[in-house]
Amino acid sequence: MQLAFVLYKYFPYGGLQRDFLRIALECQQRGHAIRVYTPIWEGEVPAGFDVRVAPVKAWFNHRRNEKFSAWLAADLARDPVARVVGFNKMPGLDVYYAADGCYEDKAQTLRNPIYQRWGRYKHFADYERAVFAPTAKTEILMISEVQQPLFIRHYHTPRQRFHLLPPGIAQDRRAPANAAEIRADFRREFQLADDTLLLVQIGSGFKTKGLDRSLKALAALPGELKKRTRLIAIGQDDPRAFQLQARSLGVSAQVEILKGRSDIPRFLLGADLLIHPAYNENTGTVLLEALVSGLPVLVTDVCGYAHYIAEADCGRVLPSPFRQEQLDRTVADMLADDERRAFWGRNGLAFADCADLYSMPQKAADVILAERP
């Protein structure tokens, strides 16, 4: 079949983008032709992919999305495909990969009622309804079971249209046989002494991921522990506000903020703790990438994959409502206890051997390629 994959932006380091690519490659490996529609493509084009970049621009994202949808519909009318697979909510999808949570629920619970009078709200609500309305035909690939009840509550979506997927952690994230050697090389490169403790925070969208909370926790560490702790944050985002915050907290010399990069496994093997105090997170793929590499995790319970950390007993999950002093105390306790961190690391590696954390691309392709009535 000729398949069309649609997303608003492709860049190599985003979680949604990496999921898209692995699903598309799985479909390609099964013999199907891959066409991609997007307004923004950054990075190399995989062999055999037909990438069509939409020439649309607008001052506001929702206006750009509307122009993109019109351009997409016109191109598909000229050059039809068997299936349209979307990674953002929009009209005209045969299959939607639900990387984002329920927009309508957030609009009703987290926003002032006046927000619903704006054009931005109407756009995103209409595009979500196009996917989840009971009369729609879109099959929905769910990666977070906590979001499904919200969509059903707001849209009365038939349950049979939801397909819950397992995580899709890449095998290259698992700790290799020479993990200790990689860790030693990494720590030499970043000039980390044997007694230096490294916190890592990984993920684009520093505000949503709670980097401000991590910086406060670093600044609140007890004196000696604070002196030998560093924090490296990695993601595609503007770091300036967080660099200013680090300076104001007196920890800028211990903080490094890096752009997205392809060698994340080295950081997971070289660090002592992954910190992920997100404000909200549909899944949190990096949590499982840390788990399978043997790196202990500290995460807030709002993350869709936080339950895996509890099930594997490979770190700590902070309950809601979030309290900064609880994060501060937990970071200090985890960094101070070398034996406990080693115990959590072993538990993560053991869980990685027995749990299905890897088959998402295959299961997603099964749904995309299934026969339709």
Token digits for 312? 């594997």
Q: What is the mean pLDDT of residues 45-66?
A: 95
The backbone region for 110, taken as left when phi is positive above 0, alpha when psi lies in -120 to 50, beta otherwise, is alpha
What's domain 171-354's architecture? 3-Layer(aba) Sandwich (3.40)
Which CATH superfamily hosts domain 2-166+358-369?
Glycogen Phosphorylase B; (3.40.50.2000)
**pLDDT tens digit sequence for 84-115:** 999 999 999 999 999 999 999 989 988 888 88
| Global confidence as pTM | 0.85
Q: Write the pLDDT tens digit of every residue in 60-73.
A: 999 999 999 999 99
> What per-residue confidence (pLDDT) applies to 14?
84
d(CA 260, CA 188): 21
The domain ranges of the chain are: 2-166+358-369, 171-354
Q: What angle do CA 13, 17, 21 make, to 5 degrees?
A: 110
pLDDT exceeds cutoff 80 at 373: no
3-state per-residue secondary structure call for 194-216? CCCEEEEEECCCHHHHCHHHHHH
Calculate the CA 271 to chain-centre distance.
20
In this chain, the answer to whether the domains covering 2-166+358-369 and 171-354 adopt an identical fold is: yes
- pLDDT tens digits, 191-230: 999 999 999 999 989 999 999 999 999 999 999 999 999 9
Q: Which residues contact 109 (CB under 8 A, 6 or more apart)?
A: none
